[in-house]
Structure 1
């Protein structure tokens, strides 16, 4: 029987594209799927045959604002990171929550990330099943600390577990002033206590879909059975036809190095572009960079939007910000990765890449310079062990079918 499934995909492309992949697979099985995402991603969502409930907040505009630049500069400090989100989204909270609720009015199942625990509130209001999506490790464990609190890793298993609970609490205390009034006035539900919804959600064993690879984040022994480490969710970009300029550039010489920072908006984009191009020259490699095609030259091709799944396997290495989606694409391609993280979970993914031997140590974007970036590129492209480990890891990731596994779990949620 066809189900009406709503997936919250608020955020940048790295948050939206995996949800599009999942939505496509569910639609192919006969379900009606609606994504709640920024209107910026309407064309990608609608081209996949999915419904869209557009949010009026644009992630790119947010990151380009003064408050957004402060957020990018906050690194992985959870108080600064989550506090920055509160300052940015607070004035929009009432409108965005209303948009989210309207998008779910006829849902049979609601899925979404833990931020604000929107699936729980809406599912409780509608009386329908709901589950959570983890784009990065968010379940308490004694095996490693929360991605935002790496120093807790040195203090033993109890501190590692406590780091996840601490981030949960910070997130809840910052969102509670918006969420509880919304529960009362719009949903007709009692407010959630100071303790927050996390403890009750885990006690209820609500399904969690962790859409990253066990080859990249090995499953800790203390994660509960209700958390399903599915593997990554990838869209099918095999039908992509490259423009003549790109095809010609790739054919004209050795595989280039890709450099792009996704949805991140550097404070001085022109200076960043100069650093990147100079580092490529110093490293002695050709490059494909994210930027204005009119700035291309013999050694560097600038492109607007090329599917990573198509481009990355044709490169010698990839340099990016370490977003979960871009990291997944690079690892799947089996090529070395250089991560230049800005904030949030990006430093964590850079550390995982280095720990797995698929790339050098991450280079924080705030420390970006021509000699440092050139050195990372030379190490990524000139070290046989990195190339071998990246290729081996890529094979493991390609063997997984995270979307199919997620669909199997979703079937049990509505049975």
Structure 2
């Protein structure tokens, strides 16, 4: 039995997959602790792990970042960089202090960190112990074959494309200078050489990267590190839970079911829920709308009669009945839909969501609306097209088969146990794209 510490950023989209990792490790007989904000304490304990709270790290609620980080809240690329600086990087020193205190109480054998957990990466470097990072979204591993991570652009083709990507990498380096400064200051604050690790390297374990997803969704690249492993995805929970009141009867109607979700972060219902409900209210479909905010079971506008609304819904019960998912592009929800072979309509606004939308479109499994605030007519036309053209369902079904080829829990535990045993980078065999 090993003692494992898991470090997660306190956002639902980050915590849920890390808790699946915790459950898998606990089921395999390992002792697990999870360092995350107090909002998730009960969920940590339900996963069979011990909660290690954020204390020196500023505890916050993802639904109101500005209460703790007044600099945040702006949209656009600069707003994303500001969020990364203050929420993800500058909290790193506090995370390290919390984790060092936990280490002094009981050292761990292995640390598993959310791919954006600055504290997890820094404390592992400081202690000199191996660690694994979990990619809870599209891969952010930089590549000479691709534009900078996070941009919703197709891979470069030919000399002009390569010149484009070189220019974009230079522009990103200039735009992210405050982020790089913040990282250097954070590293110095916890006793590490400020420039020893670059921004691009900081969140990527040199020992093992568990990429939640499949290679078929990612752009092929020639320089993917050998310790990056695609492991599929954990099944969505809730298969044995009840649907919200009134939902079971509504979903039994003999017509397509369209699930509409604003995700769990950036949950303004005016962005996607309102135009989607306006568009679908006059169609012969059942709309299953989720607000993404616990306690918000109603919308600030009247839903159409063919819609049901709830704060959250057990995906294990909903997705097997769903024909199309309309989403803001959160990675967890997109992967869950594709795991079930469901085509998508994606309205990605910021963070990695435009990239996710572009990935879905390139795969053939859905439509990228190219905005986070689509007009109702665009949502309606996209849903009509996805329902009418079988190619979208065929592409989604093909991706579902690739997900089904993975036993994610067993693969994750097996790879982590290899790292525990060998204390060296865990190399994969072969190329993920079969070249």
Fold shared by both chains (TM-score > 0.5):
yes
- Aligned equivalent of 1:347, options 354, 368, 377: 354
Secondary structure of 2:190's match?
helix
Q: Does residue 330 of the first structure (1) align with residue 332 of the second (2)?
A: no
Question: For residues 277 and 197 of structure 1, what CA distance do their matches in structure 2 show?
Answer: 41
State the partner residue of 1:179: 186
Alpha-carbon spacing, 1:355–1:82, altered in 2? closer, same or farther (3 Å): same
State the partner residue of 2:125: 124
Task: Normalising by structure 1, report the TM-score.
Answer: 0.84
Question: For residues 324 and 3 of structure 1, what CA distance do their matches in structure 2 show?
Answer: 30
State the partner residue of 1:17: 16
- Unmatched segments (≥5 aa) in structure 2: 422-435
Deviation at 1:341, TM superposition (A): 0.8
Q: Does residue 311 of the first structure (1) align with residue 318 of the second (2)?
A: yes
Secondary structure of 1:141's match?
coil
Q: Does residue 402 of the first structure (1) align with residue 408 of the second (2)?
A: yes
Aligned residues of 2:92 and 2:117 also touching (Cα < 8 A): no
Alpha-carbon spacing, 1:116–1:174, altered in 2? closer, same or farther (3 Å): farther
Question: For residues 349 and 142 of structure 1, what CA distance do their matches in structure 2 show?
Answer: 20
State the partner residue of 1:285: 285
Deviation at 1:117, TM superposition (A): 4.1
Aligned residues of 1:212 and 1:231 also touching (Cα < 8 A): yes
Encode CA deviations 1:199-236: one digit per residue, 9 max, x unaligned. Answer: 6998x942222222123226533212122222223454
Deviation at 1:284, TM superposition (A): 3.9
Using the TM superposition, name which of 11-20 and 209-218 deviates more. 209-218
Secondary structure of 1:391's match?
helix
Deviation at 1:54, TM superposition (A): 3.0
Deviation at 1:318, TM superposition (A): 0.6
Question: For residues 296 and 369 of structure 1, what CA distance do their matches in structure 2 show?
Answer: 16
Alpha-carbon spacing, 1:320–1:151, altered in 2? closer, same or farther (3 Å): closer
Secondary structure of 2:36's match?
strand
- Aligned equivalent of 2:65, options 62, 66, 82: 62
Question: For residues 51 and 257 of structure 2, what CA distance do their matches in structure 1 show?
Answer: 36
Secondary structure of 1:318's match?
strand
- Aligned equivalent of 1:383, options 372, 385, 389: 389
Secondary structure of 1:252's match?
coil
Question: For residues 411 and 208 of structure 1, what CA distance do their matches in structure 2 show?
Answer: 13
Secondary structure of 1:365's match?
coil
Deviation at 1:287, TM superposition (A): 0.4
Question: For residues 89 and 353 of structure 2, what CA distance do their matches in structure 1 show?
Answer: 24
Secondary structure of 2:216's match?
coil
Question: For residues 128 and 107 of structure 1, what CA distance do their matches in structure 2 show?
Answer: 9
Alpha-carbon spacing, 1:168–1:127, altered in 2? closer, same or farther (3 Å): farther
Aligned pairs for 1:107-256 (under 5 A) are 107-115=108-116, 117-135=118-136, 136-150=138-152, 153-154=155-156, 155-157=160-162, 160=165, 170=176, 173-184=180-191, 190-193=192-195, 196=198, 205-217=206-218, 220-256=221-257
Question: For residues 165 and 18 of structure 1, what CA distance do their matches in structure 2 show?
Answer: 33
Alpha-carbon spacing, 1:279–1:134, altered in 2? closer, same or farther (3 Å): same
Aligned residues of 2:236 and 2:336 also touching (Cα < 8 A): no
- Aligned equivalent of 2:371, options 364, 370, 373: 364
